[in-house]
């Protein structure tokens, strides 16, 4: 808990006491004695407080060569005196409070409780630009071995004053401020009148008696301490067990607004500055930061077991990209890249070290700008909430997305590692070199990196067919969320940090990537590449808004005839970034059979919402006929157009949106749909590009869901799948079938659904089975994983028996932790099937393997499989363990457990009820502002399809609305999705059931 120092002589002047008053008289001598005793007690109390909060050791740590506390500009080898007891801070979180000791220029110390300033979060949550940082010199000592998990630190910030000011406002959160001093460049102090903290805004405000003059620079010195928290954000602690010993590390996760938890700072992306970091560590550990280490200071007075590492000054960057890790990790290196991991997992870092330099080189050629830093460290953190984080020069990862163990990790794991590395390396240019001004343009970071990761991964291994996978892994996924009325624009106004965290979703990532891909398609690769190069060169080491990118693209498109006359990229792209949703393009062949009527309207999950919606987009249209003739044109933010001579009269069908390059759905008249279905049947589907086959399946089933298309036609599109062998169309199909699966799984008609699906995939399953061939292409491996998993889930007898046999063979091996011959690509389906069919013995066996495995990706697979049990009590216990400290389930895996159990028909109701009953406990365990809460709410409620379920969740939501925090939008989206499911059950369930009964297989 926070040590909240209060002035014990302070009384409330308005206090009123009621009741009889008794008076006691004393002699003058006795009165004097009592007064003396009172002051002695007061002084003793003050000394006691000081002994617990200030210093019992005169600890000295080193940062640079001039004393930071004297506010001189630091040089390379200075000495800093810090007085603080490392054991004086509680290990509990500080609950968003800051305790402040103000050290004046005369060295007198005033102790006071922080006062919140007036709060107006809606209007003035942002810092002003009256004062901007130039350079930070930061020194930190984290105590991670003594068991108290605290840190102490001090910093000097060189600030530039743009407007005369009598106060300095920056950010600080969950920190105790022990000393503050302000001086000019001549080391002349400006008297500090007051230091206060605005809890709501997380502002630290330093009020001055003097004036900071515009055009001048000043030094701000701060001494502080804080907690190495266990909430996976800010400066936090992580651990792992090796040789039965728990080992601790200190790591950072600052995006979006958590640098302020590690040191007071101007914690907004536009306040770029240089950072010189100094980290103390125990001699048996290492410290790394954004920049290379310069040297190590050997003498830390009062802490003989510690040394100080000093790092080079950084290039200008935003606070959220600052990073440091103190650990006993080891590393392997190649060229400029080093991969760090706990010692027993270091052998798993080889694949990452193999692909990272290749992707880095590819990006240097792609962006035509050399990587600007001298090194890249990539670190696998045992406890990590963000998947990965692009800190400049020090990229942090969850172990499962950086470490790969051949013979244990799956092909999907290998591919995912390449993608995540490619994503984070893309950020080194797009996000780090050029950074958004504010978080409303978060999508510029994440959308761009998400798209470019597919290019980077494809450069490493084109056989993965990443450019095809983009359609099903990103574009179609974002179309689902963006169909909700409660979706949001890509570029969305945000203020409070909770609102910022709320937009780290598939709209910012996947939709952002999809519209960038669409822009590249209509501009052409040459214009797109040159536009990027111009944008990055003009804005490097600075901040940018989306309009800066549009301007560069427009300038590069001139004289290329890629845009309509007098139209800018901004005019086009604003319709996609500033508006919510996307259009469905309705294409109808006219009576003359050669002209097409193209009409757009916004696609809603609830089609009734589209009736009064006037949203229009600039839509790039591509049309391809059965002879593969292509036509490009624009639907220019207009409701409809007639395209003359768009198709040939003698050709039976045409396709709109070639390779699904545009971010929209397409509906046709029945004649064209039926012609496309005829083409797909037999082996005619091979004449249509796999991405368009995936598009047709996804569009047809989603159009039928909202009533645009007859369900009979939509389901007829899937008939050809019996002959489909490409992964991308099957992936699109299974993603859509999973919705029907969830709607039918608890109905009396589920057998009809199973019968149809097994008829489609059985032959494909028999071709693939559980046996992988050495020459199998990566996409065939992915197909095997999808088809075999779904066949077993649907109860295909051959599949289930084979999975159980493989699992039992593993159980009966002499050393199951070292002898596992199950194909790594099929382990999840084998484990899940055997646990689903088995009981406690099978579950306990898998749990013990989870505890013993040293491979993070293997832990993920086992954790998913453990949720497949049909035993309610086992699932209940599993949920309980997921929110219990020291249960062996890491905090960042809690949402995974909830998601997997909610996908289990047996566990669906259980997961939701557990969420309700344990709501307060879950929030406390994960943190009320954790993004994990959004995931848990989404997974446990998205498949609701009865009014009873939805009404219950609505009631729960309304009672606790104020507690949902960043999960508020997620809850609203879940309700909207569930209400759409109810509507679907009423309107279409019986239609689909009838089709399934009648279909001839």
Phi first, then psi: give them for residue 805, nearest 5 degrees: -65, -45
Between 929 and 854, whose confidence is greater? 854
Instruction: Write down the H helix ranges in 510-614.
Output: 512-523, 525-539, 546-557, 569-577
Beta bridge partners of 277: 138
| C-beta separation of 562 from 527 below 8 A | yes
| C-beta separation of 826 from 785 below 8 A | yes
Phi first, then psi: give them for residue 907, nearest 5 degrees: -100, 0
Question: Edge to edge, what strands does the sheet with 654-656 contain?
Answer: 630-636, 618-625, 654-656
What is the per-residue pLDDT for 54? 33
Phi first, then psi: give them for residue 673, nearest 5 degrees: -60, -45
Query: Domain spans of the chain?
Result: 60-328, 401-464+488-565, 871-1001
What would the pLDDT profile of 111-120 be if each residue is shown by its tens digit?
Answer: 233 323 323 3
Of 3.40.640.10, 1.10.390.10, 3.40.50.9100, 1.50.10.10, the CATH number of 401-464+488-565 is 1.10.390.10
Residue 633: exposure state from Cβ atoms within 10 A (0-12, 13-18, ≥19): middle
Q: Which of 202, 424, 446, 793 is catalytic?
A: 424
The full length of the chain comes to: 1001
What is the per-residue pLDDT for 620? 98
Mean pLDDT of the region 487-512: 84
What would the pLDDT profile of 832-876 be if each residue is shown by its tens digit?
Answer: 999 999 999 999 999 999 999 999 999 999 999 999 999 999 999
Mean of pLDDT over the chain = 87
3-state secondary structure of 989: helix
What would the pLDDT profile of 39-81 be if each residue is shown by its tens digit?
Answer: 444 444 443 333 333 333 333 333 333 334 333 344 333 323 3
Whole-number Å distance between alpha carbons of 4 and 378: 39
3-state secondary structure of 243: coil
What would the pLDDT profile of 626-677 be if each residue is shown by its tens digit?
Answer: 888 899 999 999 999 999 999 999 999 999 999 999 999 999 999 999 999 9
The pair of three-digit structure tokens given for residue 217, joined into one six-digit string = 């620079």
Whole-model pTM? 0.88
Which of 247, 64, 55 minimizes the C-alpha distance to 152?
Answer: 55
Tell me, yes or no, if 608 is annotated catalytic.
Answer: no
Whole-number Å distance between alpha carbons of 121 and 815: 59
CA torsion, points 391, 395, 398, 399, in degrees to nearest 10? Answer: -170
What would the pLDDT profile of 156-190 be if each residue is shown by its tens digit?
Answer: 999 999 999 999 999 999 999 999 999 999 999 99
pLDDT of 558 higher than 50? yes
What is the per-residue pLDDT for 608? 76
Whole-number Å distance between alpha carbons of 424 and 417: 11
Phi first, then psi: give them for residue 666, nearest 5 degrees: -130, 130
| C-beta separation of 122 from 137 below 8 A | no
CA triplet 33, 39, 45: central angle to 5 degrees?
135
| C-beta separation of 621 from 635 below 8 A | yes
Taking the CA of residue 586 as centre, how many other CA atoms within 13 Å lie in the half-sphere pointing to its CB?
13
CB atoms within 10 A of CB 682: 10
3-state secondary structure of 322: coil
| Residue 229: DSSP 8-state | B
What would the pLDDT profile of 235-251 be if each residue is shown by its tens digit?
Answer: 999 999 998 899 999 99
Which of 597, 623, 601 minimizes the C-alpha distance to 612?
Answer: 601
What is the per-residue pLDDT for 146? 64
Whole-number Å distance between alpha carbons of 394 and 432: 12
User: In the CATH scheme, what is the code of domain 871-1001?
Assistant: 1.25.50.20
pLDDT of 348 higher than 80? yes
Establish whether the linkage from the previous residue to 506 is cis, with ω within 30° of 0. no
60-328: CATH topology: Immunoglobulin-like (2.60.40)
pLDDT of 151 higher than 50? yes
The DSSP string of 773-797 is -TT--HHHHHHHHHHHHHHHHTT-H
553 contact partners, CB below 8 Å, separation of at least 6? 519, 523, 527, 528, 531, 535, 569
What is the per-residue pLDDT for 611? 74
Whole-number Å distance between alpha carbons of 160 and 171: 17
pLDDT of 493 higher than 60? yes
Cα–chain center distance at 220: 33
3-state secondary structure of 250: strand
| C-beta separation of 142 from 151 below 8 A | yes
Q: How confident is the model at residue 401 (pLDDT cuts 50, 70, 90)?
A: very high
278 contact partners, CB below 8 Å, separation of at least 6? 61, 62, 63, 64, 137, 138, 139, 140, 308, 309, 310, 311
3-state secondary structure of 394: strand
Which of 497, 549, 542 minimizes the C-alpha distance to 523?
Answer: 549
């Amino acid at each position: 808990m926070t040590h909240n120092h209060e002035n014990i002589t302070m009384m409330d002047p308005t206090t009123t006491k009621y009741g009889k008053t008794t008076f006691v008289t004393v002699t003058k001598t006795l009165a004097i004695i009592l007064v003396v005793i009172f002051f002695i007690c007061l002084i003793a109390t003050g000394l006691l407080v000081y002994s617990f909060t200030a210093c019992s050791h005169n600890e000295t740590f080193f940062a640079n060569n001039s004393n930071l506390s004297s506010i001189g500009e630091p040089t390379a080898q200075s000495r800093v005196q810090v007085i603080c007891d490392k054991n004086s801070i509680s290990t509990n979180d500080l609950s968003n409070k800051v305790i402040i000791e103000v050290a004046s220029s005369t060295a007198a110390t005033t102790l006071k409780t922080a006062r919140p300033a007036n709060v107006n979060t809606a209007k003035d949550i942002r810092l002003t630009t009256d004062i901007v940082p130039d350079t930070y010199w930061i020194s930190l000592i984290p105590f991670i071995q003594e068991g108290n998990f605290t840190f102490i630190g001090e910093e000097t910030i060189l600030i530039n004053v743009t407007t005369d000011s009598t106060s300095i406002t920056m950010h600080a959160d969950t920190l105790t401020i022990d000393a503050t001093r302000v001086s000019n460049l001549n080391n002349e102090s400006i008297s500090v009148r007051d230091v206060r903290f605005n809890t709501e805004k997380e502002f630290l405000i330093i009020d001055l008696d003097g004036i900071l003059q515009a055009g001048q620079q000043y030094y701000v010195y701060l001494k502080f301490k804080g907690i190495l928290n266990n909430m996976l954000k800010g400066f936090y602690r992580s651990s792992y067990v090796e040789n039965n010993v728990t080992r601790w590390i200190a790591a950072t996760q600052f995006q979006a607004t958590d640098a302020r938890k590690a040191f007071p700072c101007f914690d907004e992306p536009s306040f770029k500055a240089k950072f010189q970091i100094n980290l103390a560590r125990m001699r048996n550990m290492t410290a790394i930061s954004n920049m290379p280490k310069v040297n190590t200071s050997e003498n830390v007075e009062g802490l003989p077991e510690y040394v100080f590492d000093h790092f080079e000054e950084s290039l200008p960057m935003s606070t959220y990209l600052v990073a440091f890790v103190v650990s006993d990790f080891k590393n392997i290196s190649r060229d400029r890249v080093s991969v760090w991991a706990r010692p027993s997992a270091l052998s798993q870092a080889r694949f990452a070290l193999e692909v990272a330099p290749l992707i880095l080189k590819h990006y240097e050629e792609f962006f035509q700008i050399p990587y600007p830093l001298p090194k890249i460290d990539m670190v696998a953190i045992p406890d990590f909430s963000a998947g990965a984080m692009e800190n400049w020069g020090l990229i942090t990862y969850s172990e499962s997305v950086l470490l790969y163990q051949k013979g244990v990790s799956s092909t999907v794991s290998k591919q995912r590692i390449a993608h995540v590395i490619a994503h984070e390396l893309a950020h080194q240019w797009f996000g780090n070199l050029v950074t958004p001004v504010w978080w409303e343009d978060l999508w510029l970071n994440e959308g761009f990196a998400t798209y470019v990761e597919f290019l980077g991964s494809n450069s490493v291994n084109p056989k993965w067919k990443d450019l095809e996978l983009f359609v099903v892994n990103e574009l179609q996924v974002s179309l689902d969320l963006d169909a909700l009325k409660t979706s949001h624009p890509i570029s969305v106004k945000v203020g409070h940090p909770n609102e910022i965290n709320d937009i780290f979703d598939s709209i910012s990532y996947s939709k952002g990537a999809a519209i960038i891909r669409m822009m590249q398609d209509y501009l052409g690769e040459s214009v797109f590449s040159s536009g990027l190069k111009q944008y990055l060169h003009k804005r490097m080491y600075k901040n940018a808004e989306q309009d800066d990118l549009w301007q560069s693209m427009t300038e590069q498109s001139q004289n290329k005839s890629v845009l309509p006359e007098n139209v800018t990229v901004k005019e086009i792209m604003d319709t996609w970034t500033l508006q919510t949703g996307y259009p469905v393009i309705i294409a109808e062949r006219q009576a003359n059979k050669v002209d097409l009527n193209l009409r757009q309207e916004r696609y809603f999950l609830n089609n009734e919402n589209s009736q009064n919606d006037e949203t229009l987009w600039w839509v790039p249209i591509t049309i391809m006929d059965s002879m593969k003739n292509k036509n490009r044109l624009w639907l220019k933010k207009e409701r409809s157009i007639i395209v003359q001579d768009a198709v040939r009269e003698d050709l039976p069908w045409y396709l709109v949106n070639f390779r699904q390059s545009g971010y929209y759905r397409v509906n046709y008249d029945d004649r064209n749909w039926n012609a496309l279905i005829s083409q797909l049947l037999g082996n005619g589907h091979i004449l249509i590009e796999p991405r368009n086959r995936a598009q047709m399946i996804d569009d047809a089933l989603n159009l039928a869901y909202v009533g645009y298309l007859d369900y009979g036609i939509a389901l007829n599109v899937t008939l050809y799948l019996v002959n489909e062998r490409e992964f991308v169309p099957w992936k699109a199909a299974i993603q859509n079938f999973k919705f029907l699966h969830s709607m039918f799984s608890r109905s009396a008609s589920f057998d009809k659904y199973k019968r149809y699906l097994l008829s489609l995939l059985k032959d494909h399953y028999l071709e693939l089975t559980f046996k992988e061939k050495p020459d199998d292409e990566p996409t065939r491996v992915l197909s095997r994983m999808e088809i075999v998993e779904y066949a077993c889930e649907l109860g295909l007898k051959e599949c289930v028996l084979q999975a159980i046999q493989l699992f039992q063979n593993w159980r009966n091996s002499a050393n199951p932790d070292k002898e596992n011959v199950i194909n790594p690509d099929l382990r999840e389906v084998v484990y899940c099937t055997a646990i689903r069919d088995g009981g406690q013995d099978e579950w306990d066996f898998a749990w013990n393997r989870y505890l013993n495995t040293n491979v993070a990706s293997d832990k993920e697979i086992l954790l998913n499989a453990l949720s497949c049990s049909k035993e309610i009590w086992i699932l209940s216990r599993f949920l309980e363990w997921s929110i219990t400290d020291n249960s062996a389930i890491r905090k960042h895996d809690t949402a995974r457990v909830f998601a997997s159990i909610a996908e289990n028909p047996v566990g669906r109701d259980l997961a939701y009820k557990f969420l309700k009953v344990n709501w307060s406990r879950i929030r406390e365990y994960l943190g009320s502002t954790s993004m994990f809460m959004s995931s848990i709410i989404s997974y446990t409620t998205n498949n609701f399809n009865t009014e009873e379920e939805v009404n219950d969740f609505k009631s729960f939501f309304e009672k606790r609305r104020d507690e949902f925090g960043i999960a508020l939008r997620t809850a609203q989206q879940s309700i909207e999705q569930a209400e759409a499911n109810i509507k679907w059950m009423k309107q279409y369930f019986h239609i689909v059931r009838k089709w399934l009964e009648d279909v001839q297989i």
